[in-house]
Structure 1
Amino acid sequence: MGKYHYEQAIEQSHNLLSLAKQQENFYYVTKAYNYLGHAYTDQEDSARARKNYTLGLEYAQLSKNDTVLMHSYNNLGNIYSEIPETQEKGIAYYNKVIDIANRIGATSELIAPKTNIGWTYMDDGQFEKAYPYIDGSLELMNSLVQAKPEYLKEIDYFYSPIYMLHGRYYSHKNQFDTAKNYFETSIQLAENDSLIFEAAEAYDEYSKMLARQGDYEAAYKAQQKFIDYKSMFFESEKLKQTEIANAKYNLNQYKKNLLIAEKEQMYQNDIISKSKEKVIVMVFSSVGMIFILVFLYKVNRDRQNLIEKLKVKNVQYRDAKIEAEKLSLLKTRFFSTVSHEIRTPLYGVIGLTSLLLEDKSLNKHKGDLKSLKFSADYLLALINDVLQMNKMESNEVKLENVVFSLKDLMKSIVNSFEFTRVQNKNNIILDIDPKIPSFLIGDSVRLSQILMNLVGNAMKFTERGNIHILAKQTNTSEGKSSIYFEIKDDGPGIPESKKKVIFEEFSQLENSNYNYQGTGLGLPIVKKLLKLFNSKIKLESKEGQGSVFSFSIDFNVDNTIKEVEKVEVETYAIDYIGRKKILIVDDNRINQVVTKRILEKKDFDCEVAGDGLSAIEQVKTGSFDLVLMDVNMPGISGLEASKEIRKFNKDIPILALTAVEVEEIREEIQGAGMSGFIIKPYDVQQFYQIVYKNLSLSRLTEKA
């Protein structure tokens, strides 16, 4: 296209387009559309140019090639920025080029869009908006050339227009000496490289500046230079217009030749039709062709109608999908916010209730307090069930691999149901196979959720009966252990018609135990969690004969930890002796009181900070052994406060207190330099264990 052979360029671009589409090569489809866009741009057919550039952008996005994608955005930026009404749209396309170049580290690709944005703003009279872009382009070019001098050959043609734009800016600021230096440098570069258009632009703007300065003689000379270069540019444009006209003429001539060829063919057909035999053949052929054409017309019409309907449906489905994604995101945010807002006051309720239960002077109210704590625990379990289901629907639940003791896990689960067991007058029989390895590797939290839901379900439907919990090793090989779990109850059993229904969300069977109602989410959660373990829940039940839920999970075995060592560490943590000083950081006064009273029961010295800034100052000036840091606080958050503390104190344990689901902020907690986390509301004994563990680890670090 450098010699304006537009007809050849358009024809070859169409050939490239056809071949590339046949091979589904989106990269070359994009290139072909961009070539067509360049050809129509030179012919000043902006409508066709814009259409081809837009199609090029669509295929550039499909190609996933950042280079052609940047060129497509830049082409559209050039089209739209030339029109005042669409100037901002053009700048938006340039900014897309900048975003991609920054992401992939293509520094040289930043020069063109930045220069174009600055030029657009300057032509619009927005000089201050323009300056950061043109100055940034110049800095980029200088840094590239300084790092790799060979870059100069690739980008030297940018220097002249960028210096000219700097001259325009400083002329606007009335800093004429600086502007003069930039204009003269721009002119020199343009003349050295024979850049006619750039030289004309520079002399024109230089002449305007000299006239404003009052140097009319120099302005006149610069204007003469501008006229000379403009004449040269017009000669080039005249040649270009001539070639365009020739191209259009050649295209028209091609059409005329085609019309003549068609007329000749018709004449030959008339001659052939004089033959009787051929006339008969032609008649029958024509009739057949008519039927075929009618059939094809009908098929094509039906196809077009179906395509139009399909387009409408696709638009509807796309809009529905976008709306559904928005609603799903809103639902996730809603549940996350509600969980935090409910868990925070629950922390106060559960914490204060636990403290009151330990007060011997309130023994006559012990039953009421236990009921209160049970209700709060039930409400917390309800919140956790709803959140768990929401997370699984959003595919946010991922299994983790941690070392854990199955024996300790199952004993802990049994202990957590002690209050309910006594209330329903049930017996729990725990049977753990001694062949099961002491330490397994897997997601103990998700396993605990499965067992808690199944045991809770058995407890819910059983009164004055037995609940059997079995864990048995069924197979072991190459560091893996297959464990079979079974939860059996003496409850009323499940009718055959209800066996599938109970695994659906919010479905419940009738239950005579009104003290233990549920959400109907327990078994659906179990089913979905087991799917993550590549396992399935099995149910055996007859009405009036109880129920048996069972499943199997494969775990890796950890042989590196000895059980004796674990007991020693736990004993050391629990029996930790020594008066330690702890800073409690929380903006909620009730939470401050609860946490402080829980810690003071174990003879800890406690101080309180109501916000992150106070916490930073108190750690700087005081001597604390551990910090309990609330994550969500007004002003400076707990995460930001922890980062500041880590700048001057690397060793002090900082535990995050949060009512948010920990999976949502685990990475942020670790990134802030926190030692661990405690989820509110928490179990008091578990709370003590985590505090003791971090204090003991801190002490071991100090000794080392």
Structure 2
Amino acid sequence: MRKNYFFTVIGLLFCLQLYSQQPPKTYKDSIETIAKAANEAYDSYDFNASLEYSWKLIELASPKEDYYNLHVGYNGLGTTYEVLEDTLRAKENYLKALEFAKKSENDTLLWYAYNNLGNVLTVDKETIEEGLDSYEKALELVSKLEVPEEALIPIINIAWTYLENGKSEKALPYLKEAWKLNKAQDDKESESNLLTLFGMYHTGRGEYEEARDHFEIALEVAQKNNLLVQVSFAYKEYAKMLFKSGNFDEAYLALEKHQKYREKIFQKEKNLQREAVYGRFQTEEYKRDLATAQREQLYKDEVIAKTQQITIIMVISLIVMFVFLVLLYRNNRVRKELIAEQEQKNKELIAAKEEAERLSLLKTRFFSTVSHELRTPLYGVVGLTSLLLEDNKNEKQREDLKSLKFSADYLLALINDVLQMNKMESNLVHLENSGFNIQELFQGIVKSFETTGNLNSNEIQLQIDDEIPQTLIGDSMRLSQIMMNLVGNAVKFTENGQVWVKAERRSCQENKCRIYFEVGDTGSGIPKDKQEDIFEEFSQLKSQNQTYQGTGLGLPIVKKLLDLFGSKIELESEEGKGAVFSFVITFDIGEDRVVEVSEGQPETMAEKVVKRILIVDDNRINQVVTERILLKRDFECRVAGSGEEALEIIRNETIDLVLMDVNMPGMNGMEATREVRKFNTNIPIIALTAVEVGEMREEILSAGMNDIINKPYDIPQFFSTIFRNMLQPVA
């Protein structure tokens, strides 16, 4: 039984409640009565009653949030459980008591709470330091109260803890201080316990005679004052000293007396008969220890006899260990083989990946080369056909020429679609931001479909929201591709109906604007079961206009381009009732552009200033087509078939603008441009190329060229680019 003396302080706590805040009389009377009953039950060792009264105290104080008496109730539970050696429950209730002591802001309650919590923490070897810290906190609070005699309790507890953990020298200063304080109080319980603790101190130092003297005086004081707990504690420690000094018989008698007094303490506690059983078990343990000491030699002989058995066990263990090592070696070998196999698989995988990337690059290069080789002759076909259509007045031949141009345009669209899908699959398509005007952009798109729309007797409507900012920042070329594909599909699948293109402002904030786009028609519509398939590559619906067939790549291209914009295509359609495609894109808002010249004015200014253009192209047909187009606008033309010839002309003649083919044998267009820039930095040089502009834009512009025109030409765009570069100020 450990530190029981200090649990009697609950009586002091119950008395202190008389000075707390004054509640209503009935509540005050009840609290005082229950507290007094709990204290009397504890003092008379009726622990069941003590627990019951403490719980009643808590139940009565809880509704009123009476922190003072809640502390007293939980402290009562803790002290009772501690004397019953139920340290887990004691700790749980001491912690609650500490919580309410803090809330009450009463230093007296706080130091008692820290002291009692230290009692249970020092029982466990792992929490001894925490327990000592609690005692120190209690001492610190006592010093604030300026009541030095109350420091006796935590000082004795600290000494007690050090003694029980074999630190006698650390305990001595606390024992002396406690003895000095107790003389002033003349507390017989403290005196008896201090004498017992001094006995423990001398026992720890091996001073058994001095220890015997202190234990005997402690027993005399405790028995004279009928202090059962102190007598039990003194006999317990006295028995330990006797056993340690070799007086086994006396130790046994002292332990029996300890048990006798312990049973007296617990005789009213019917539910704790296990404590007496535990005491008797402890007595039997001492008996067995005594017998063990007498049979020590016999044990040694038995150990020697068992050496052979131990040897056998060791041999078996070695064999098992050897088998284990063999298995470990085997497993390690298998593991290494698996790792080597995995490394080989990884190498094969990397090689396959590199080969796939190489083939993908070759495919990209192949498509780029084929597109260039196909576009170059198509340029001649489309260009010559366009010129013949303008000059030829024979209606029958004009119809044939229109069919020829239509077929060439279709073939060009097919090449562009296949190349676009290839670039997307290779992740070569990226958005390029620049300022553009939606009104101008969409008017050009609708105008380009007027011929096809008239062919199918369709009316094309353009609806642009006036609230859309004049200038938006984004990739206008990719937006044009999306709209061209959607409008092209709408025109193709509609006859004698309507096609509309719509752009509406949804919201504009923080320099960004969300624009809603819609392309709809009153054509044949799309069946529900086909609405997902049409976004797959090479998937087509049967067109009512059997004279027009597509590649089946338009909508997949639209879907992939919208992914780049962070948008998604939406479709609403019923068979026979047309279709509506819509999407939303967020653009940055740019500064409004001020148009300084009216439509047609750039051409007029250019015509007054520029007359001579040099055409550099190794293809004779392309030379003819380009020259014929320029001559119709009254330009003077010079033709060169190679880069070297172009350099000679530029050096020796007056040239106002150069149209330079990029891919030529010998000195190509970029090399020729670099040479020109060495002696002429002002002349505008425009690149002519059948390769996708995005693939070579950086390389072309870094070579010193001013702009790019893609083959086959879009005639209005062709002249717009020429006039724009003519009007640039001279550096």
The two structures have a TM-score, normalised by structure 1, of: 0.57
SS at match of 2:588: strand
Flag the 1:394–1:292 CA change in 2: closer, same or farther, 3 A: same
CA–CA distance in structure 2, aligned partners of residues 519 and 675 of structure 1: 35
1:246-257 pair list within 5 angstroms: none
Look up the equivalent residue of 1:543 and give its one-letter code.
E
CA–CA distance in structure 2, aligned partners of residues 326 and 274 of structure 1: 76
Q: Does 1:577 align with 2:607?
A: yes
CA–CA distance in structure 2, aligned partners of residues 625 and 290 of structure 1: 95
SS at match of 1:641: helix
CA–CA distance in structure 1, aligned partners of residues 497 and 335 of structure 2: 68
Flag the 1:286–1:441 CA change in 2: closer, same or farther, 3 A: same
1:264-303 pair list within 5 angstroms: 275-279=307-311, 281-282=313-314, 285=317, 289=321, 296=328, 299-300=331-332, 303=335
CA–CA distance in structure 2, aligned partners of residues 370 and 359 of structure 1: 13
1:317-336 pair list within 5 angstroms: 317-336=349-368
Question: Which residue of structure 2 aligns with residue 558 of structure 1?
Answer: 590
Query: Greater shift after overlay, 668-677 or 306-315?
Result: 306-315
Q: Does 1:701 align with 2:697?
A: no
Q: Does 1:599 align with 2:630?
A: yes
Q: Does 1:429 align with 2:458?
A: no
Q: Deviations over 1:385-413 (max 9, x none)?
A: 11111111111111111111111111111
Cα contact 1:442–1:556 (8 A) shared by 2: yes
Offset, 1:577: 3.1
Look up the equivalent residue of 1:549 and give its one-letter code.
F
Who wins on radius of gyration, i.e. which is larger? 2
Cα contact 2:450–2:460 (8 A) shared by 1: no
CA–CA distance in structure 1, aligned partners of residues 312 and 460 of structure 2: 98
SS at match of 2:377: helix
SS at match of 2:393: helix
CA–CA distance in structure 2, aligned partners of residues 352 and 543 of structure 1: 41
CA–CA distance in structure 2, aligned partners of residues 547 and 295 of structure 1: 72
1:40-189 pair list within 5 angstroms: none
Question: Which residue of structure 1 aligns with residue 521 of structure 2?
Answer: 489
Flag the 1:695–1:295 CA change in 2: closer, same or farther, 3 A: same
Cα contact 2:364–2:422 (8 A) shared by 1: yes
Query: Greater shift after overlay, 435-444 or 514-523?
Result: 514-523
Question: Which residue of structure 2 aligns with residue 544 of structure 1?
Answer: 576
Question: Which residue of structure 2 aligns with residue 460 of structure 1?
Answer: 492
Question: Which residue of structure 2 aligns with residue 615 of structure 1?
Answer: 646
Look up the equivalent residue of 1:557 and give its one-letter code.
I
Q: Deviations over 1:73-100 (max 9, x none)?
A: xxxxxxxxxxxxxxxxxxxxxxxxxxxx
Q: Does 1:358 align with 2:387?
A: no
Look up the equivalent residue of 2:718 and give its one-letter code.
F
Q: Deviations over 1:644-697 (max 9, x none)?
A: 111111111111111111222212221221111111111111111111121222
CA–CA distance in structure 1, aligned partners of residues 492 and 317 of structure 2: 83
Question: Which residue of structure 2 aligns with residue 568 of structure 1?
Answer: 598
CA–CA distance in structure 1, aligned partners of residues 567 and 319 of structure 2: 67
CA–CA distance in structure 2, aligned partners of residues 677 and 281 of structure 1: 92
Q: Which of 384, 387, 403 is 2:416 aligned to?
A: 384
Flag the 1:282–1:643 CA change in 2: closer, same or farther, 3 A: same
Look up the equivalent residue of 1:451 and give its one-letter code.
M
Q: Does 1:631 align with 2:662?
A: yes
Offset, 1:366: 2.5
Q: Which of 450, 453, 459 is 2:482 aligned to?
A: 450
Flag the 1:495–1:480 CA change in 2: closer, same or farther, 3 A: same
CA–CA distance in structure 2, aligned partners of residues 645 and 669 of structure 1: 14
Look up the equivalent residue of 1:448 and give its one-letter code.
S
Offset, 1:293: 5.2
Q: Does 1:470 align with 2:499?
A: no
Cα contact 2:414–2:551 (8 A) shared by 1: yes
Q: Which of 335, 338, 342 is 2:370 aligned to?
A: 338
CA–CA distance in structure 1, aligned partners of residues 335 and 529 of structure 2: 47
Cα contact 1:402–1:443 (8 A) shared by 2: yes
Q: Which of 650, 664, 675 is 2:706 aligned to?
A: 675
CA–CA distance in structure 2, aligned partners of residues 328 and 488 of structure 1: 37
Question: Which residue of structure 2 aligns with residue 641 of structure 1?
Answer: 672
Q: Deviations over 1:239-281 (max 9, x none)?
A: xxxxxxxxxxxxxxxxxxxxxxxxxxxxxxxxx9982442464
Cα contact 1:574–1:692 (8 A) shared by 2: no
CA–CA distance in structure 1, aligned partners of residues 604 and 407 of structure 2: 29
Look up the equivalent residue of 1:630 and give its one-letter code.
D
Flag the 1:490–1:607 CA change in 2: closer, same or farther, 3 A: same
SS at match of 1:568: coil
CA–CA distance in structure 1, aligned partners of residues 661 and 468 of structure 2: 39
SS at match of 2:414: helix
Question: Which residue of structure 2 aligns with residue 395 of structure 1?
Answer: 427
CA–CA distance in structure 2, aligned partners of residues 412 and 458 of structure 1: 17
Look up the equivalent residue of 1:408 and give its one-letter code.
E
Offset, 1:587: 0.8
Offset, 1:512: 3.6
Flag the 1:431–1:327 CA change in 2: closer, same or farther, 3 A: same
CA–CA distance in structure 2, aligned partners of residues 658 and 317 of structure 1: 39
Q: Which of 687, 696, 703 is 2:718 aligned to?
A: 687
Offset, 1:484: 0.6
Question: Which residue of structure 2 aligns with residue 257 of structure 1?
Answer: none
CA–CA distance in structure 1, aligned partners of residues 339 and 612 of structure 2: 74
Q: Deviations over 1:361-402 (max 9, x none)?
A: 344433322222222122111111111111111111111111
Look up the equivalent residue of 1:664 and give its one-letter code.
E
Flag the 1:310–1:620 CA change in 2: closer, same or farther, 3 A: same
Aligned-residue Cα RMSD (Å) equals 2.5
Look up the equivalent residue of 1:515 and give its one-letter code.
T
CA–CA distance in structure 1, aligned partners of residues 569 and 405 of structure 2: 31
Q: Deviations over 1:613-648 (max 9, x none)?
A: 111111111111111111111111111111111111
Flag the 1:277–1:569 CA change in 2: closer, same or farther, 3 A: farther
Q: Does 1:506 align with 2:506?
A: no
Offset, 1:321: 1.0
Query: Greater shift after overlay, 524-533 or 288-297?
Result: 288-297
Cα contact 2:515–2:585 (8 A) shared by 1: yes
CA–CA distance in structure 1, aligned partners of residues 523 and 575 of structure 2: 9
Look up the equivalent residue of 2:401 and give its one-letter code.
L
Offset, 1:515: 1.9
Q: Deviations over 1:490-548 (max 9, x none)?
A: 23333333222222222223334322211121111111111111111112223333222
SS at match of 2:585: strand
Question: Which residue of structure 1 aligns with residue 471 of structure 2?
Answer: 439
Cα contact 1:356–1:362 (8 A) shared by 2: no
Cα contact 1:535–1:551 (8 A) shared by 2: yes
SS at match of 1:458: helix
Question: Which residue of structure 2 aligns with residue 374 of structure 1?
Answer: 406
Percent identity, aligned pairs only?
60
Look up the equivalent residue of 1:572 and give its one-letter code.
P
Cα contact 1:574–1:689 (8 A) shared by 2: no
How many residue pairs end up in the alignment? 428
SS at match of 2:482: helix
Question: Which residue of structure 2 aligns with residue 586 of structure 1?
Answer: 617
SS at match of 2:505: strand
Q: Which of 632, 638, 660 is 2:691 aligned to?
A: 660
Cα contact 2:462–2:500 (8 A) shared by 1: yes
Cα contact 1:392–1:528 (8 A) shared by 2: yes
